[in-house]
């Protein structure tokens, strides 16, 4: 019985095991293989931030792939979130290990990061599961496109920010506010700001590829607003994902043949009619 249960739920644990393996490998590389021992002290915070960003990316990819390709026979509609729960549990254990090994991050910041990651991955899992009624390919492509666009919005949305400057007064600050309040990685940097004093505009990738916070004024929104927003969006999307698609609902098919005559069991069948035969002359 135990072997049967483990074999049945093993596919649901594969995304979580993949996330754990990738993040442990990155942690080991950053601790022992990235820099010589004498140069690690000055970049410890940068390595922690990079590892957390990689955790967001890996967990997002695992949830999208799981929600798009989970076997329907074992994990129908509502049970698709079993894989998400396994991923977020593993991420919680990894964050606890990070809090135990790092003295720079207080437990309140670890809790804030976990809530943000849980809300974000729940949103992207529900979105991908809702798109699955149009096929696994559509679900995987659509979920990954939305996820990567939102995660990299400070970089990929820069043409939109520059174009909004010509739409009229006030449009560019509105577009910038939408980006800074919906990007999970910017919310992650905001959650780390009290402990590490980070400014997301000074990060290497942001400084090189994004003008937000430099040539274009921008203020990152608080992490709890992003967490609350994605948590509220995940609820209706999860309800939509659990609903059975119209094509799968049972429906009656009218037959072209005439239905058989109804036989009443309470009445015996009528005797055949007898005709009198006239005598022959």
Where do the structural domains in the chain lie, given as residue ranges? 7-246
pLDDT band at 165 (very low <50, low <70, confident <90, very high): confident
b vs e for 235-253, b when ≥16 Cβ sit within 10 Å of the residue's Cβ? eebbeebbeeeeeeeeeee
DSSP letters for 202-244 = GSHHHHHH--BTTTB---PPPHHHHHHHHHHHHHHHHHHHHSP
Which pLDDT belongs to residue 266? 57
Question: pLDDT value at position 250?
Answer: 43
Tens-place pLDDT, residues 207-236: 667 778 777 877 778 899 999 999 999 999
Distance CA 44, CA 208 (A): 21
Residue 79 or 231, more confident: 231
pLDDT at residue 81, as a whole number = 77
- Say what the pTM is: 0.79
Q: How far apart are CA 16 and CA 125, in angstroms?
A: 14
Read off the tokens for 105. 């991050």
Across all residues in the chain, what is the average pLDDT? 80
3-state secondary structure of 268: coil
Q: Bigger pLDDT: 187 or 35?
A: 187
Q: What is the predicted pLDDT for the residue at 220?
A: 77
- Measured CA to CA, the distance from residue 158 to residue 211 in angstroms comes to 7
What is the reported pLDDT for 213?
72
């Amino acid at each position: 019985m135990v072997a049967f249960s483990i074999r049945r739920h093993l596919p649901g644990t594969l995304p979580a095991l993949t996330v754990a393996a990738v993040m442990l490998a990155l942690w080991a590389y950053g601790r022992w293989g990235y820099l010589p021992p004498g140069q690690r002290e000055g970049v410890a915070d940068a390595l922690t931030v990079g590892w957390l960003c990689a955790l967001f990316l890996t967990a997002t990819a695992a949830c999208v792939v799981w929600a798009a390709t989970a076997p329907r026979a074992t994990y129908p509609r509502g049970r698709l979130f079993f894989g998400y729960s396994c991923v977020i549990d593993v991420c919680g254990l990894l964050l606890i290990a990070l809090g135990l090994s790092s003295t720079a991050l207080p437990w309140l910041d670890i809790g804030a990061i976990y809530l943000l990651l849980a809300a974000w991955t729940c949103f992207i899992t529900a979105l991908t599961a809702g798109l699955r009624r149009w096929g696994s390919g559509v679900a995987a492509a659509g979920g990954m496109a939305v996820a990567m666009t939102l995660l990299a919005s400070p970089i990929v949305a820069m043409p939109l920010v520059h174009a909004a400057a010509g739409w009229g007064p006030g449009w560019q600050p509105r577009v910038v506010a939408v980006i800074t309040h919906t990007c999970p990685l910017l919310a992650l940097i905001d959650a780390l700001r009290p402990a590490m004093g980070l400014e997301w505009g000074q990060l290497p990738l942001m400084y090189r590829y994004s003008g937000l916070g430099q040539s274009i004024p921008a203020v990152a929104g608080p992490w709890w607003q992003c967490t609350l927003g994605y948590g509220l969006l995940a609820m209706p999307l999860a309800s939509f994902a659990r609903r059975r698609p119209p094509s799968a609902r049972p429906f009656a098919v009218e037959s072209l043949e005439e239905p058989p005559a109804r036989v009443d069991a309470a009445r015996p069948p009528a005797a055949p009619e007898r005709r009198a035969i006239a005598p022959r002359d």
